[in-house]
Amino acid sequence: MRCKFEDIVTVGNEKRTPTIEDTDTYVGLEHLESDTIIVSRFGSRVPLKSTMQVMKKGDVLFGRRNAYLRRTGIAPHDGLCSADIMILHPKENVIDREFLPFFVSSDYFFDIAERYSAGSIMQRVMWSRIKDVEFDLPPLVEQRKLADLLWTATAMREAYKKLLMTTEELVKSQFIEMFNNSPKEKIGEVCTIKARIGWQGLKKDEYLTEGNYHLVTGVDFKDNRIDFNNCFYVTEQRYSQDAHIQLQPEDVLITKDGTIGKVAIIEEMLIPATLNSGVFVVRDRQGLLKNRFIFYSLMTDEFNNFVEGIKTGSTIAHLNQGAFVNYEIPVPPLERQNTFIQFAKQVDKSKFELQRTLEELEATYKALLREKLG
C-alpha cells in the first residue's frame, strides 16, 4: 500500500526545560549509529540548558540533520533528546509498531528522506517537506512477520557485537596485566613519527581513482586495519616524494586530523602506498619495540585518554605531534612483547571469525529489507 508519511506517523512535539538529572540520560545525534537501531550510549558531558524534546522509552528516533549519515534509534528510556532528532510515533492502523524502526532505518526510507533535506550548511529533513511524501508499505500482516525476523536478526547482531567487544577487552586487560609495571619511555624517543609535511600537501585533483600507488587517508581505517579496496591513488612522483611515508607491512598508523586517534596496522600490501597529511606513521626507532607491540600499546584506554587530553583546534580536532611525542609507552623486554603478540594474534583470529559472521548477518538483514521495501 502507498501512503503519505503523515498517514504513517505522527511527530512528537512535547518539550521542557532540562534538569540536572537529565544530563545522564540525554540522547543526542552522536548517540545514534547508522548500523543499528539500538541506542547503547547516552549522556552529556556538559550541562543541558536550552529547552529540549521529551522522548519516551520505545519512541523511534530519526536523526533529521545530515540524513546522509543514516542515524536512527529506539529511545532506551524516558528523557530528553536533541532538537535535531525527529521523534516518530506509529499510526498503528497503517504501520506496525515493531516494524516502524526498521522502516525508518532502511535505505529505502533514507534514499527518499535525503532528497527532502534543506539548509545550506547543516541540512535537515523538515516535517513540512516530508509529510506529504508517499512511501510503499507491505500489508500489516507481512509487516508483523518481517518485524519478528528483523528483531531476531538484530538480537543476534547485538550478541555478536558484544562478543567482539569482549575479545577487545580481553586483549586490553592482558596488556595491562603484563605491562602495567614495565618501564616507560616517551614515544618520540623510541619511535619515529612521520607524516606528509605541509609543502607536500595534496590538492583535491591529485586524489586519483585509479593508479599504481595507493594513498591512505583517515577514512580508510576499518576495524584497525586499512581498507585498501577503497583507497585513492597518487602519481609515482607523489609517492616517491618522501621515503619516510612510503608504507611497509607492520607499520602503525594513527589519524591526526578530523576524527583523531584512530589506530591501524598494515597487514599486507598489494601495491606501494603513501599517506595524505592527516595520518602519522609510527615505527620502532632503536630496536626496543616490535611495531605490532606499538600498535597494541596505542589501542589501550590509557592512550585514548591521552588523546582526549591533548586535542587542539577550535572547530577541527588535531593531534599535535609536539604533544604526541611525549606519550609514555611501555618498553618491556622483547621476549615479553613477543609472548603478548602471539596471544593477541590468537584472539584476533577469533575476532576475525566473529566479524565475518556479523557481516553475513548484516548482509542478510539488509537484503531482507531491500526485498520487502525496494
Closest CA to 321 of 353, 282, 288, 360: 282
**Gap between the Cα atoms of 324 and 312, Å rounded:** 12
Q: How far is Cα of residue 66 from the mean position of the Cα atoms in its chain?
A: 16
Q: Let me know: does 123 contact 65? Beta carbons within 8 Å.
A: yes
Nearest to 371 by CA among 59, 33, 145, 68: 145
Q: Are 78 and 57 in contact (CB under 8 A)?
A: yes
**Distance in angstroms (rounded) separating the CA atoms of residues 252 and 270:** 17
* The pairing of beta strand 214-216 with beta strand 273-275: parallel
Grid look-up 538484530 returns 154
Cβ atoms within 10 Å, residue 157: 19
How far apart CA 325 and CA 319 sit, in angstroms, is 11
How much is the pLDDT for 14? 94
**DSSP helix/strand/coil, 60:** strand
Cα 319 to Cα 256: distance, rounded to the nearest angstrom: 4
Pairing of strands 79-81, 2-4: unpaired
Alpha helices in the chain (DSSP H): 5-8, 100-104, 107-113, 127-130, 140-179, 187-190, 236-240, 291-297, 301-310, 321-324, 334-373
Beta-carbon neighbour count of residue 199 at 10 Å? Answer: 6
Cα 64 to the center of its chain, rounded Å: 18
With 0.85 as the threshold, say if the pTM is over it.
Answer: no
Q: Provide block-wise average pLDDT over 10 residues at a time, the chain (374 residues).
A: 92 93 93 90 88 95 91 95 95 95 93 82 86 92 93 91 90 94 96 89 91 94 90 95 95 89 92 94 95 96 88 64 93 97 92 88 85 76
**How confident is the model at residue 314, as a pLDDT?**
45
Q: What pLDDT is stored for residue 315 in this prediction?
A: 52
List residues bridging with 88 in a β-sheet. Answer: 11, 60
Degrees (nearest 5) of the Cα angle 87, 91, 92? 125
Give the model's pLDDT for residue 17. 93
In this structure, what C-alpha cell is assigned to residue 141? 500482516
- Number of Cβ within a 10 Å radius of residue 2: 8
